[in-house]
């Protein structure tokens, strides 16, 4: 969510957002009543590195539809090094979504208004990316029923690897986000009633639930005979249950909500952005040395929320932040479009180039070119579709026309 989006769902200008009240008689007073910052530019800036991790993962896949590197040994090393980048990016986005929506929530907002804002934010971009993928590369090889499931965001409910990642592979995570948005008003209503001094237990329990999801996947969900294309030793069905199915992933989103509540209530032990990044890097390396689904699902989630919380605290308290600058914030603004379009660019480029494979330097140059094209296309999608539609349709037009002297500018909704 961008900084514009965050500010749009906060109370009107001139009013100060306060931490959610908890009317429990046994609760200790909250430690911090610092007014909350209306904008979190560091979190916006962190969005693009997360999207870039997903780009690197997809570029590394050993599929004929995207592969560029000729040397099998180098290709294998590239694939191995990038094996956890996509999962880390997705985990970060899921937790970030819960965090930012909680930070920006306002009293008196209705579920209907919230769902409207989310719909106009994600669906137009999603449909454009789906249409481009079908037109440029997927239409000739995708069955109509799979294309329809992708268009309606239902591909994640079929325990089939090919269906989950057909048409535009990054789209599966938007299907999961749609479920998160559906449940957010209810989750927020429940979670804001948790006494601040008990949030740590809920956070620990949610992390345990994430780990338990993988345990269930490995021990209870039947492995079947289908294996992942890029991880031949991992059951596609077990991976679908733990990683793709929206309801287990709801825990990542819920963790973001709970951590936001803890930060807002002054109940979060902040280790800072630098140490959070160090821990995230260590966990990223460790993820390659555990069973695959644990690495994809559970190893990096705590460092990810530590970094999210540290970024929010840095902005709220005016602390230094390397990602709070104009370039990173702009990249964060277009990151949603980049996330949806980058695979379209990768697959279309491969199709245009034919079957030829390339040396390491040539592959690096081609990947740089694909990155630039994807970024420019994302800028266009953001400027021509995402931003105009969210500004125009996030709120219903008022039926009565006020006198010109009383008309005020309406800010952009999320």
pLDDT digits (tens, 9 = 90+) for 119-165: 999 999 999 999 999 999 999 999 999 999 999 999 999 999 999 99
The dihedrals phi and psi of 31, each to the nearest 5 degrees, come to -75, -30
List, in order, residues 6 or more apart from 149 with CB less than 8 Å away. 155, 158, 163, 166
**Residue range 41-45: mean pLDDT, rounded:** 97
With 80 as the cut, is the pLDDT of residue 13 above it?
no
Domain boundary assignment for the chain: 3-396
State pLDDT tens for residues 69-80: 998 888 999 999
* pLDDT at position 85: 97
Two tokens at 289? 């040395």
* pLDDT at position 32: 46
Q: How far apart are CA 17 and CA 250, in angstroms?
A: 26
pLDDT category at 413 given cuts 50, 70, 90 is: very low
* pLDDT at position 111: 94
The predicted model scores a pTM of 0.88
* pLDDT at position 141: 93
With 60 as the cut, is the pLDDT of residue 24 above it?
no
* pLDDT at position 399: 53
Q: How far apart are CA 108 and CA 106, in angstroms?
A: 6
* pLDDT at position 408: 35
* pLDDT at position 71: 84
With 70 as the cut, is the pLDDT of residue 8 above it?
no
SS (H, E, C) the chain: CCHHHHHHCCCCCCCCCCCCCCCCCCCCCCCCCCCCCCCCHHHHHHHHHHHHHHHHHHHHCCCCCCCCECCHHHHHHHHHHCCCHHHHHHHHHHHHHHHHHHHHCCCCCCHHHHHHHHHHHHHHHHHHHHHHHHHHHHCCCCCHHHHHHHHCCCHHHCCCHHHHCCCCCCHHHHHHHHHHHHHHHHHHHHHCCCCHHHHHHHHHHHHHHHHHHHHHHHHCCCCCCCECCCCCCCEHHHHHHHHHCHHHHHHHHHHHHHHHHHHHCCCCCCCHHHHHHHHHHHHHHHHHHCCHHHHHHCCCHHHHHHHHHHHHHHHHHCCCCCCCCHHHHHHHHCHHHHHHHHHHHHHHHHHHHCCCCECHHHHHHHHHHHHHHHHHHHHHHHHHHHHHHHHHHCCCCCCCCCCHHHCCCCCCCC
* pLDDT at position 72: 82
List, in order, residues 6 or more apart from 114 with CB less than 8 Å away. 181, 184, 185
Mean pLDDT over the full length of the chain = 89
């Amino acid at each position: 969510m961008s900084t514009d989006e965050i500010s749009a769902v906060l109370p009107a200008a001139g009013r100060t957002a306060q931490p959610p009240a908890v009317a429990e008689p046994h609760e200790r007073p909250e430690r911090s009543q610092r007014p909350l910052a209306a904008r979190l530019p560091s979190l916006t800036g962190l969005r693009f590195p997360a999207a870039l991790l997903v780009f690197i993962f997809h570029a590394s896949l050993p599929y004929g539809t995207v592969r560029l590197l000729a040397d099998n040994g180098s290709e294998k090393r590239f694939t191995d090094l990038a094996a956890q980048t996509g999962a880390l990016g997705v985990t970060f986005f899921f937790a970030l979504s819960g965090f930012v929506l909680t930070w920006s929530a306002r009293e008196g907002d209705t579920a209907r208004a919230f769902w409207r804002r989310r719909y106009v934010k994600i669906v137009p971009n999603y449909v454009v990316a789906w249409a481009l993928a079908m037109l440029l590369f997927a239409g000739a090889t995708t069955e109509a029923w799979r294309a329809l499931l992708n268009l309606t965001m239902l591909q994640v409910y079929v325990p089939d690897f090919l269906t989950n990642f057909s048409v535009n592979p990054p789209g599966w995570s938007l299907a999961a986000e749609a479920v998160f948005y559906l449940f957010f008003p209810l989750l927020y209503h429940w979670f804001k009633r948790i006494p601040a001094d008990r949030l740590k237990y809920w956070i620990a329990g949610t992390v345990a639930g994430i780990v338990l999801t993988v345990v269930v996947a490995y021990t209870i969900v039947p492995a079947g005979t289908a294996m992942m294309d890029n991880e031949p030793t991992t059951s596609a069905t077990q991976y679908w249950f733990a990683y793709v199915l929206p309801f287990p992933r709801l825990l990542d989103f819920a963790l973001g909500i709970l951590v936001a509540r803890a930060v807002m209530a002054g109940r979060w032990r902040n280790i800072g952005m630098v140490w959070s990044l160090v821990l995230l890097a260590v966990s990223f390396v460790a993820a390659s040395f555990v069973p695959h689904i644990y690495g994809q699902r559970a190893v990096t989630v705590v460092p990810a929320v530590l970094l999210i919380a540290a970024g929010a605290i840095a902005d709220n308290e005016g602390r230094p932040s390397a990602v709070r600058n104009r370039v990173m914030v702009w990249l964060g603004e277009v990151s949603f479009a980049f996330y949806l379009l980058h695979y379209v660019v990768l697959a279309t480029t491969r199709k245009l180039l034919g079957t030829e494979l390339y040396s390491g330097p040539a592959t690096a140059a081609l990947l740089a070119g694909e990155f630039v094209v994807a970024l420019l296309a994302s800028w266009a999608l953001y400027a021509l579709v995402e931003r105009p539609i969210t500004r125009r349709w996030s709120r219903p037009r008022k039926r009565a026309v006020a006198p010109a002297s009383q008309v005020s500018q309406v800010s952009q909704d999320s």
